[in-house]
A and B are shown apart, each in its own frame.
Chain A
């Protein structure tokens, strides 16, 4: 009998772990966006002296991991697990970064939902008594993602208005048993949801059903209401996906619009930067949460946040074989204070 499960998909922690430190590194385009002052490091270019974009992405993960560990006042040897994933085949970015980190490693694949996937599992490991300090990190890189999923950089194609821009960015967090918050109090794990969207240029539409399902189930399981949260922020639904998620939730009687934001929309300036529907990629929710949202919680401007990273679980092969695009969304509740603990 699992004692900590509430409802169908949610877990409530007995001893909520704290996110004791975060760190972010983003590319130049993200550094020109409205959230630039919240990021720890803004790169001058996205190759950072490496031989390939893949190697650059890997270096970003190594650097951000080392930085977050030192910001937490810890050493590599004190980190019990590293939970990491990315968009590349066989998650080479994470695996090769883990090679340098020498920490027991669980590689994850949740596409762009990896940030909350890793925070969920990290929190479960801590609350379950399996570790005291967990490194949760994920990254994405525009150029490495383009060459894997879409087109070569120099190809003269036109992107439709629903297309999104993969964020070059990484975010890392240390989830710990010993801290003063912000606390991870609940985790709602998503199911894979596929409503038959095949258009790879409209990922927002592909992922919206999963986001809506997880958010709906979260409220059902916990008994919370949208007004219990200061901010409900999804990973990378973009303009189109955000509207669709809102519609789907309204159909089920839940209205989150007044406190609903999306990392993909927040990270870029829609008017000045040419990004169409918004940002996407693992690094999107990772950098926006670990940079912007986390800092706002620490400052006291936000008290309770529901973070829902969203992922599209397809590959070039599945799309070419005519499959539709399944989505998944994992939600974590993050609170500045919990009862009895300040």
Chain B
């Protein structure tokens, strides 16, 4: 290692040493509680639709639609980011977080117009989710078809 590289490595170690760690336990507890509660909201709607005699697949789709709406709506109201501050993964991982990741850049980039602003920026964060999700489903489908 050159002297410069050594200096840099020493510094990086120092940075790690002085790094302020967030309180992981507290974060996990909040994530657990909020994530659990959001799923319970989904469970409530699921029971509601199944109770009305809907087929399980249809009920599942309806729950997705409603949860997406709720995530979008509370993002619009400006409260979803407040939830995210303390809930962390508890608000990011449920499908409401997916809706939040679509609505927040769309709202933000409205000032750049509706086509290239809202329309394009909606997918800055959600785009990769769709790309990787759909592509992996195609790969799974292909493998399944071959195996069959």
- Residues of A whose CB lies within 8 Å of any CB of B are 51-52, 147, 151-162, 195-197, 202, 205, 209, 239-240, 243-244, 247-248, 277
Contact = CB atoms under 8 A, between A and B. Distances in A.
Contact of B20 (A153, A154, A155, A277): A277
10 contacts: A52-B111, A155-B100, A156-B80, A156-B97, A158-B88, A161-B20, A195-B7, A195-B11, A205-B18, A244-B14
A243 B20 CA distance: 12
Given A162-B20, A195-B7, A240-B20, A155 B125 contact: yes
A126 B136 CA distance: 64
Interface of B: 7-8, 11-12, 14-15, 18-22, 27, 75-76, 78, 80-81, 83-88, 91-92, 97, 100-101, 103-105, 107-109, 111, 125
Contacts of A51: 111
Nearest to B96: A156
Contact of A196 (B8, B21, B108): B8
A240 B92 CA distance: 27
A157 B88 CA distance: 6
Nearest to A205: B15
A152 B107 contact: yes
A153 B76 CA distance: 11
B84 A157 contact: yes
B111 A156 contact: no
Nearest to B97: A156
A156 B108 contact: no
B20 A152 contact: no
A36 B19 CA distance: 30
Contacts of A248: 11
B19 A202 contact: yes
Contacts, number: 85
A247 B20 contact: no
Given A152-B104, A152-B107, A195-B7, A244 B15 contact: yes
B92 to A, nearest CB: 6
B35 to A, nearest CB: 12
A160 B24 CA distance: 11
Contact of A154 (B11, B27, B78, B87): B78
Contacts of A196: 8, 11-12
Nearest to A247: B14
Given A155-B125, A156-B84, 16 more contacts: A147-B108, A152-B104, A152-B108, A152-B109, A154-B76, A154-B107, A155-B101, A156-B81, A156-B83, A162-B19, A196-B11, A202-B19, A240-B19, A240-B20, A243-B18, A244-B11
Contact of B12 (A151, A154, A195, A239): A195
A155 B87 CA distance: 13
A153 B125 CA distance: 13
B22 A161 contact: yes
Contacts of A240: 18-20
Contacts of B100: 154-156
Contact of A156 (B14, B92, B105, B109): B92
Nearest to B77: A154
Contacts of A155: 81, 84, 100-101, 104-105, 125
Contacts of B103: 154
Contacts of B75: 154, 156
A162 B18 CA distance: 10
B8 A195 contact: yes
B146 to A, nearest CB: 36
Given A162-B20, A196-B8, A154 B108 contact: yes
A331 to B, nearest CB: 20
Given A147-B108, A162-B20, A244-B18, A157 B8 contact: no
A161 B26 CA distance: 14
A291 to B, nearest CB: 28
A243 B14 CA distance: 10
A161 B108 CA distance: 25
Contacts of A52: 111
Which of A155, A162, A197 has the most C-beta atoms of chain B within 10 angstroms of its own C-beta? A155
A195 B81 CA distance: 33
